[in-house]
């Protein structure tokens, strides 16, 4: 467990991240209590409650576009349409002009139905009941 914690600490420090955890004991460690690392204890058991809590406590700007890969969390990069011709599904390639790609796992993103559905679900999570 110590090596997992140490690796997590290194990533958080290097990338200036905030740890989200349900483990209250983790946040009692000196690195958190001294303010060297920032963490939020997530209380809810339902993902809608968790989204609301994190957005509220951290003041997350929910007007920004999705900018990270859902597979590996790397920052997405804008890529030329031709660069994804052999990777993107044919319909997406034909119907979209703008694409983003993960520089790590090479997953391709575009503003299709899934993108619209994620925005709708986020809006419902922040406005509605779980």
Domain limits, the chain: 2-58, 77-127
> Is 26 within 8 Å of 19 (Cβ atoms)?
yes
Cβ distance 18 to 58 under 8 Å?
yes
pLDDT at res. 2: 55
Judged by average pLDDT, the poorest of 67-76, 93-102, 116-125 is 116-125
Structure confidence at residue 1 (pLDDT): 46
Instruction: Enter the tokens of residue 90.
Output: 């044919």
Confidence check: pLDDT of 122 > 70:
yes
Phi and psi for 18 in degrees, rounded to 5? -115, 130
Highest mean pLDDT among 4-13, 17-26, 80-89: 80-89
Average pLDDT, the chain: 89
Question: Which 3 state secondary structure label does DSSP give 113?
Answer: helix
Give the tens place of pLDDT for each residue, 22-59: 998 888 989 899 999 999 999 989 988 998 899 999 99
In this prediction, residues 77-86 reach a mean pLDDT of 96
What is residue 17's three-state secondary structure? Answer: coil
Q: What are phi and psi of 68, to 5 degrees?
A: -125, 150
């Amino acid at each position: 467990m110590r090596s997992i914690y140490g690796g997590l600490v290194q990533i958080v420090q290097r990338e200036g991240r905030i740890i989200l955890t349900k483990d209250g004991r983790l946040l009692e460690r000196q690195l958190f209590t001294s303010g060297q690392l920032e963490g939020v204890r997530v209380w809810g058991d339902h993902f809608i409650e968790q989204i609301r809590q994190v957005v509220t406590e951290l003041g997350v700007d929910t007007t920004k576009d999705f900018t990270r890969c859902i597979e590996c969390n790397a920052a997405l990069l804008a890529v030329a349409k031709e660069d994804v011709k052999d990777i993107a599904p044919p319909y997406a390639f034909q119907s979209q002009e703008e694409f983003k790609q993960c520089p790590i796992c090479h997953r391709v993103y575009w503003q299709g139905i899934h993108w619209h559905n994620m925005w709708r679900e986020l809006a419902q999570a922040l406005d509605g009941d779980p």
